[in-house]
Amino acid sequence: MQQYLEQIQAIIRNYTKASVPASVLEELFAIGTVRAFRKGDLIISVGEECNILYILLQGLVRKFHLDASGNDITHMFLQENSFFSTDFVMIRRPSLCCFEAVEECLTLTIDYGKVQQVMEKEPTLLSVYVGILENTLQEKLLRENALLSMSATERYLDLKKRIPGIEERVSQTHIASYIGITPVSLSRIRRTLREENGC
């Protein structure tokens, strides 16, 4: 348990400078469940009312949705040492997206209602909550900006910079979908980059 508590404290520092008391971390851990997912498992499905907050301790998760034609569109990759849940976790509406484990994952899952109860007693958790919201908003804005103002090659290089080694962890199809191009176009970009500068 101590190993997880230290990791969760480190994760919290990604979102705020505030340090959460050890007793609060122990309480969160006690109301949560450590859960493993295999590669390919759907963690959250479209239409599911999910009131769970996930702390990703290990692995990589892909957030995706299906367009009107049933095409699978990758919206986001979530790395270990982060929080995630549906966009509607606070208001308990059906999820519009799916979350899939793209490799073996280990999570701490906590009922959001119980997290709120702990937050009411512990003010430092509010700064963590605000940090998560700010980070989520920032990710959405950066993603929107990338799709509007960056070339496909720039989006590809940006993804590789943000998640080093992603090509060994995620299929080329999912990477191409995230960038907004076809796998054939991604292969062309990769070949060009190799020829130009050995990337």
CATH superfamily of 2-121: Jelly Rolls (2.60.120.10)
Q: What angle do CA 78, 60, 171 make, to 5 degrees?
A: 105
- Report the pLDDT value the prediction gives residue 192, as an integer from 0 to 100: 94
Of the candidates 115, 134, 91, 102, the residue with the CA atom closest to the CA atom of residue 8: 115
The model carries a pTM of 0.88
Residues 89-110 pLDDT 10s: 666 778 888 999 999 999 999 9
How buried is 23 (Cβ within 10 angstroms: 0-12 exposed, 13-18 middle, 19+ buried)? exposed
Residue 198: pLDDT above 60? no
- Report the pLDDT value the prediction gives residue 91, as an integer from 0 to 100: 61
**Alpha carbon distance 103, 64 (integer Å):** 15
Comparing 20-24, 88-92, 115-119, the range with the smallest average pLDDT is 88-92
**Alpha carbon distance 124, 111 (integer Å):** 19
Alpha-carbon distances, residue 79 vs 22, 24, 82, 83, 188 (angstroms) = 24, 24, 6, 9, 27
Residue 199: pLDDT above 60? no
